[in-house]
Amino acid sequence: MKTIGICSLRGWRGVLGRNLFVFVAILFVASIVYLYIDFPLKLNSNVWQDELQSNNFKEPVQNFNGATPRFNKTSNDVLVFVHIQKTAGTTFEKFLVRYQENLPCKCMAHKKRCNCGRNSSNETWLFSRYSTGWVCGLHADFTELVVNSCVQRVLDKQAGYNKKRNYFYTTFLRNPTDRFISEFRHVQRGATWISSKHICDGKPASVNDLPTCFDPRIGWEGVSLEEFISCPYNLAFNRQTRMLANLSLVGCYEHLRKPSYEQDKIMIESAKQNLRNMAFFGIKERMDDSQFYFENTFDMKFSRKMSVWGKSKSNDTVLTDAQLAFIQNLNKLDWELYEYALQLFDERIEQVRRQQRMRA
């Protein structure tokens, strides 16, 4: 048994007991079938990797492993935050506009948004919820922001002319099981993100591409965990992988209706590659290290500690091992991505420390 924060779970044991057992049983059988069918493909996974490696970003992206240009406060550099739901992204965004003094944003009382324009040009150095707002759609993903060039388009429009900029992409990741449960709780409290457009291949996903798990007129408030995990189109599954992958590579949202090992593989490799190319990524479970990594990469300091902020307010409840295993299995792409990210994160921290020692 493991304790995980969950608020307002009603009739948890009663509703779930028997049905969950059936779910786990089905899942177990399904995993075995899946493993067998896919086994021969695993041998070919290098092929996918090679193909993906040759897919470069259309827009300039800083690769940390090369000679990293530092974020230039006075030029055309823009920090872009890819906000994946329930990963401490809001905390990070708040800190960027409110507790960061090297390139201060002008915030007005009782206004959510701040002006992060540079003094000289008034052109923003920060693309995020509290500066530009959700101009590329609510919680826009990598596909919307980068593949469909939304960031470039929107900033050009605001500037009034086309301009070359250097984009420094950033994001936050979180333990996938905790993130999933946190998203479930959030939806149970009434959030749906129904207005997200899911632009891919230049157009928004249709209801056919992306069936909803609930009646949009009613929402999904009060949903039980059982119902939440039994909708195959639930975007909460492997959300981190999907939001960081180039979905053009896998026919956009086809994988939700017709899951396949090949597409999973392409998606996870794409997400890993895009993560590697980010100028910074934080890990919710490693807030102090994330802050250290960020501050030293962008030459910005926060006046407070992110780790002290944003503690979960919810009540603890108990999930059985079976329930946890079930959720973990549903998010196995995210788990692969997360484990990869943790390793990469340690390397980056070590790299920053090394650079600091060299400068000292």
Ligand X SMILES: *[C@@H]1O[C@H](CO)[C@@H](O)[C@H](O)[C@H]1NC(C)=O
Binding site for ligand X (CB under 6 A): 7-8, 55, 57-58, 72-75, 103, 115, 117, 119, 122, 124, 146-147, 246, 248-249, 314-315
Nearer Cβ to ligand X (85/246): 246
Separation between Cα atoms, residue 96 and residue 168, nearest integer Å: 14
Residue 92 CB, shortest distance to ligand X, in Å, is: 20
- Give min distance, CB of 168 to ligand X, in A: 14
What backbone torsions phi and psi does residue 106 show, to the nearest 5 degrees? -95, 110
Measure the CA–CA gap between 41 and 48, rounded to whole angstroms.
10
Nearer to ligand X, 62 or 124 (CB): 124
Burial of 211-245, coded b for 16+ CB within 10 Å and e otherwise, reads: eebbeeeeebeebbbeebbebeebbbbbbbbbbbb
Residue with tokens 């992409």: 169
Q: Which of 209, 210, 213, 211 is nearest to 227 (CA)?
A: 213
- Among residues 126, 217, 225, which one has the least CA distance to residue 177? 225
Judge contact between 280 and 168, C-beta under 8 A.
Answer: yes
Closest distance between ligand X and the C-beta of residue 144, in Å?
A: 11
Residue 182 or 331: which CB sits closer to ligand X? 182
CB closer to ligand X, 120 vs 208? 120
Strand locations in 38-137 (E): 77-82, 106-107, 114-115, 126-127
CA 218 to CA 214: how far, in whole Å? 8
- Residue 249 CB, shortest distance to ligand X, in Å, is 5
Q: What are the helix (H) ranges across 149-260?
A: 150-159, 176-188, 225-230, 239-244, 254-257
- Of 146 and 306, the one with the shorter C-beta distance to ligand X is 146
Q: How far is the CB of 111 from ligand X (least distance, A)?
A: 10
Nearest-approach distance from CB 184 to ligand X, in angstroms: 14
Q: Within 13 A of 280's CA, how many CA atoms are on the CB side?
A: 27
List 139, 186, 198, 255, catalytic entry: 139
Question: CA-to-CA distance for 232 and 324, rounded, in angstroms?
Answer: 18
Tokens of 204: 């928004």
Distance of alpha carbon 355 from alpha carbon 92, whole angstroms: 24
- Does residue 83 have an active-site annotation? no
- The least CB distance from residue 21 to ligand X, in Å, is 27
Amino acid type, 225? L
Contact 38, 261 (CB under 8 A): yes
Nearer to ligand X, 57 or 261 (CB): 57
Question: Could you list the active site residues?
Answer: 139
